[in-house]
Amino acid sequence: MRIGLQIAIAASMFTVIMTAIGYVLLVQLNKADPIKMEELTKNITPIFSFGIFIFIVMAGTMTFLIHSITNPVKKLRDAADKIARGDLDVKIYPKGTGEVRDLAISFKTMVNTLRKSGDLQTTAAEKYKNLYETSPFLYRTITLDGLIAECNKSYAERLGYTVEEVIGTHYNKYTAPKDLKAMTDSFERWKLTGIAKDIEIWLKTRDGTTFPTLMTISNFYDEDGSVIGRNSIIRDISEIYEARKKLEKDALMELQLTEIKKMEKLKDEFVSMMTHELKTPLTPIMGHCEMLKESGLLGDLNQVQLDSINTIHENAHRLERLIGDAMLAQRLEIGQMNFDKQKFEVTKLMSEIHNDYSKIMKEKQIEFVNSTHGNLILWTDKNRIRQVIDNLIQNAVDFTPKNDGRIEIGARNEDGKIVFYVKDNGMGIPKEVQPIMFKKFYQVDASHRRKHKGTGLGLVICKGIVEGLGGGIWFESEPGKGTSFYFAIPEEVLWQNKLT
Amino acid sequence: MHLLLIEDNDSISGMIAQYLRLKGHDCIVADNGKDGLAQILSNNYDVALLDLAMPEFSGYDVIESLETTGKLKEQKLIVLTASSITEGKMKELEKRGVYTCIKKPVQLNDLMKVIQSCVDA
């Protein structure tokens, strides 16, 4: 454009000059002829004037163009130079007209875009710097000499140092003693091969405590592409380690539990077998006692012989009961008790029990009362309920003084449960032994055990049966005044039939 | 009464047989399940007393064989059980046709009463 203008100006100037030269030449040639001179002047003047006019127009246009095109373009060129030097701090005012203005606007847009992307780059760098510093991962860069060239804040802080303290130190300063060899081996192997596998290494903090980590290693290259160090991303796996340890422990415990269950099963089989084996010889012992005792069957015995047989027979009975109770307690303990459910009238059962014991109670001169009222019905194992009541009555009889003893049995409905009770006015249970009443082989008075016919398993069995039927058993007792045993069985069938 | 006792334990069978004989009854002893079964199949006993836990051919096997031959309905059977048997199993046996189950150690006069009621039944 500029060249075009310059040509136009040059052309107009050429026209003016050429016209002037022509005019001077014609004047020289026609000096003598005034008429021709006058005609010539008349003809040349418009051409000359036109040349001058064109020149003025062209010069004016030139001046205008220099202002409206060249200057803004020059400014844009300066700005571009600045940008090329990396300085984005340039100001552009879209001046001029048409394409130049459009160009300036585009240029300004471009500069703004550049500026924005520059800002983004700065933000990203800051962001990554921030991530590096505060990442939950521990980062460190180690040179080929094993010195830490760089590390993040997390790394330094986790180990109890500042970043400045860490930089320049050897990596093994932070390796737990037990992993020194593994760490050195890994490092040396990496130096030889340039390859380092993920490795579990325990690190050591400033105060000497250690923690497990998982290290992922990548190579660190210089501009020529040769390895000059390695970047380690270190993950503190203390929590994972603990969780893993717990899992291992749980697995071990489960294994032990399986073993225990196996042992329990063996124990149960052993108890069953022993019970059977122990009871078998009792059959002929007791049978022969019975025959000897029966008058006339095997010939008559004198009183001393009879007493002797009675003692044998009595003890055989006691042994039989002991074996039976031990087996029952064992079954209850391992939840292998079978219950036969049936619907039955509690009131009727209590009357039966009262009748069955009336004779013995009369003999012992114990007042025996059944205070069951109403029509109570349960759906549970009747025989086992009876067994519990029998046991409690037996206890009450054994611990109640003759002559002025009183035993009361009964059952009542209480909040959807049938509560059975056996109350006596006997010696009571000393406060200090009340908490261990349901433990195996416990009897209030050790010397009493010899007199008492029980096995020391009665209450254990009662508790096992009641709980097996979904109920609970408890007692109230005051030494010297008596004891009341209660057990409650839910009316709804809550118990589960535990099968062998 | 003509009685059969199937019991592998000599002390027990000897004692029970002695008692029953002293009580005036005729008692044959079989010391294993197979002999016992053969006795039942070839004789007519008023009551057979059967021990359950026997090696090789148990009391259960005897009952099963009697069931398949249809003889269980004809032969009155009292089972003498070890202590380890459950109430449920006892009931099941009674359902199958066994007159009753008595737990060892047996009381002889009780046994006698049960035999009597079984014969009368």
User: In angstroms, what CA-CA distances link A181 with A172, A186, A187, A478?
Assistant: 10, 8, 10, 71
* Ramachandran area for residue A194 (φ above 0: left; ψ -120 to 50: alpha; else beta): left
Tokens of A416: 């959807």
B56 in Cβ contact with A249 (< 8 Å): no
Same structural domain, A230 and A267 = no
Same structural domain, A438 and A477 = yes
Is residue A13 one of the residues assigned to a domain? yes
Compute the distance between CA of residue A184 and CA of residue A146 in angstroms, rounded to an integer: 9
Compute the distance between CA of residue B31 and CA of residue B48 in angstroms, rounded to an integer: 13
Tokens of A376: 């109570």
Contacts 24+ apart (CB under 8 A), A38-46: A44/A19
Compute the distance between CA of residue A122 and CA of residue B21 in angstroms, rounded to an integer: 115
Give the relative orientation of helices B10-22 and A238-293 as an angle to the nearest 10 degrees.
30
Residue of A nearest to B10 (CA): A284
Compute the distance between CA of residue A69 and CA of residue A498 in angstroms, rounded to an integer: 104
Interface of A with B in 283-312 (CB under 8 A): 283-288, 290-291, 294, 297-298
The whole-number pLDDT of residue A65 equals 72
Tokens of A106: 């585009």
A395 in Cβ contact with A454 (< 8 Å): yes
What pLDDT tens digit does each residue of chain B (121 aa) get? Answer: 999 999 999 999 999 999 999 999 999 999 999 999 999 999 999 999 999 888 889 999 999 999 998 888 889 999 998 756 777 788 888 988 899 999 888 889 999 999 999 998 8
Domain boundaries, chain B: 2-120
Give the relative orientation of helices A71-84 and A98-134 as an angle to the nearest 10 degrees.
20
User: Which residue stretches of A159-297 are H helix?
Assistant: 163-166, 180-193, 238-293
Is residue A444 one of the residues assigned to a domain? yes
The whole-number pLDDT of residue A330 equals 76
Which residue(s) pair with A420 in the sheet?
A411, A487
Q: In terms of residues, how long is chain A? A: 500
Domain of A484 in residue numbering reads as: 338-490
DSSP state of B2: E
Query: Phi, psi (5° rounding) for residue B97?
Result: 130, 0
AA identity, residue A471:
G
Helices and strands, counts by H and E, chain B: 5, 5
The whole-number pLDDT of residue A452 equals 55
Q: In terms of residues, how long is chain B? A: 121
Same structural domain, A370 and A465 = yes
- CA angle A328/A329/A330 to nearest 5° reads 90
The percent helix, strand, coil of chain A (3-state, each to 5) is 60, 20, 25
Is residue A170 one of the residues assigned to a domain? yes
**Is A159 in a helix, a strand, or coil?**
coil
Same structural domain, A159 and A264 = no
Cα torsion A78, A84, A90, A92: sign: positive
Same structural domain, A284 and A398 = no
Compute the distance between CA of residue A32 and CA of residue A36 in angstroms, rounded to an integer: 9
CB atoms within 10 A of CB A124: 10
The whole-number pLDDT of residue A19 equals 73
Buried/exposed code over A246-274 (b: 16+ C-beta within 10 A; e: otherwise): eeeeeeeeeeeeeeeeeeeeeebeebbee
Is residue A495 one of the residues assigned to a domain? no
**Is B70 in a helix, a strand, or coil?**
coil
**Is A178 in a helix, a strand, or coil?**
helix
The last residue of one of the domains, among A202, A236, A270, is A236
Q: Determine whether the interchain pair A294/B84 forms a contact, defined as Cβ–Cβ distance below 8 Å.
A: no
CA-derived radius of gyration, chain B: 13
Same structural domain, A255 and A231 = no
Residue of A nearest to B88 (CA): A340
Q: Determine whether the interchain pair B87/A290 forms a contact, defined as Cβ–Cβ distance below 8 Å.
A: no
Query: Phi, psi (5° rounding) for residue A451?
Result: -75, -45
Compute the distance between CA of residue A72 and CA of residue A54 in angstroms, rounded to an integer: 27
β-pair type (A417-424, A482-490):
antiparallel
Contacts 24+ apart (CB under 8 A), A5-14: A5/A58, A5/A61, A5/A62, A5/A65, A6/A62, A8/A58, A8/A61, A9/A55, A9/A58, A9/A59, A9/A62, A12/A51, A12/A54, A12/A55, A12/A57, A12/A58, A13/A55
User: Which residue stretches of chain B are H helix?
Assistant: 10-22, 33-42, 59-69, 87-96, 108-120
Tokens of B27: 């008692």
Chain B residues with CB under 8 Å of A323 CB are 83
Tokens of B16: 């029970």
Out of A287, A294, A340, closest to residue B88 by CB: A340
Helices and strands, counts by H and E, chain A: 13, 12
- Of the candidates A356, A291, A283, which has an alpha carbon nearest to the alpha carbon of residue A317? A283
Quote the CATH superfamily of domain B2-120: Response regulator (3.40.50.2300)
ipTM: 0.86
Tokens of A15: 């026209």
Same structural domain, A202 and A305 = no
The last residue of one of the domains, among A191, A210, A236, is A236
Same structural domain, A150 and A67 = no
Flag whether the pTM goes above 0.80: no
CB atoms within 10 A of CB B32: 18
Compute the distance between CA of residue A133 and CA of residue A250 in angstroms, rounded to an integer: 37
Q: Which residue has the tokens 């046709």?
A: B97
Give the number of A-B residue pairs with CB atoms closer than 8 Å.
68
Is residue A496 one of the residues assigned to a domain? no
Number of structural domains found in chain A: 4
Same structural domain, A215 and A265 = no
User: In angstroms, what CA-CA distances link A400 with A371, A429, A476, A484?
Assistant: 19, 12, 15, 12
Is residue B55 within 8 angstroms of chain A, CB to CB?
Answer: no
The alpha-carbon gap from B106 to the nearest alpha carbon of chain A, in Å, equals 6
Same structural domain, A365 and A482 = yes
Buried/exposed code over B86-107 (b: 16+ C-beta within 10 A; e: otherwise): beebbeebeeebbbebbbbbbe
- Among A271, A280, A323, A340, the strongest candidate for a mutation testing the B interface, having the largest count of B CBs within 10 A, is A280
- Of the candidates A293, A326, A334, A331, which has an alpha carbon nearest to the alpha carbon of residue A312? A293
CB atoms within 10 A of CB B84: 18
* Ramachandran area for residue A456 (φ above 0: left; ψ -120 to 50: alpha; else beta): left
Same structural domain, A471 and A350 = yes
- CA angle A59/A65/A70 to nearest 5° reads 130
Question: Which residues in chain A show pLDDT less than 70?
Answer: 1-5, 32, 95-97, 334, 336, 440-455, 492-500
Tokens of B69: 């031959």
The last residue of one of the domains, among A215, A236, A257, is A236
Q: Determine whether the interchain pair A275/B84 forms a contact, defined as Cβ–Cβ distance below 8 Å.
A: yes
A160 in Cβ contact with A205 (< 8 Å): yes
Chain A residues with CB under 8 Å of B104 CB are 279-280, 282-283
Q: Determine whether the interchain pair A280/B86 forms a contact, defined as Cβ–Cβ distance below 8 Å.
A: no
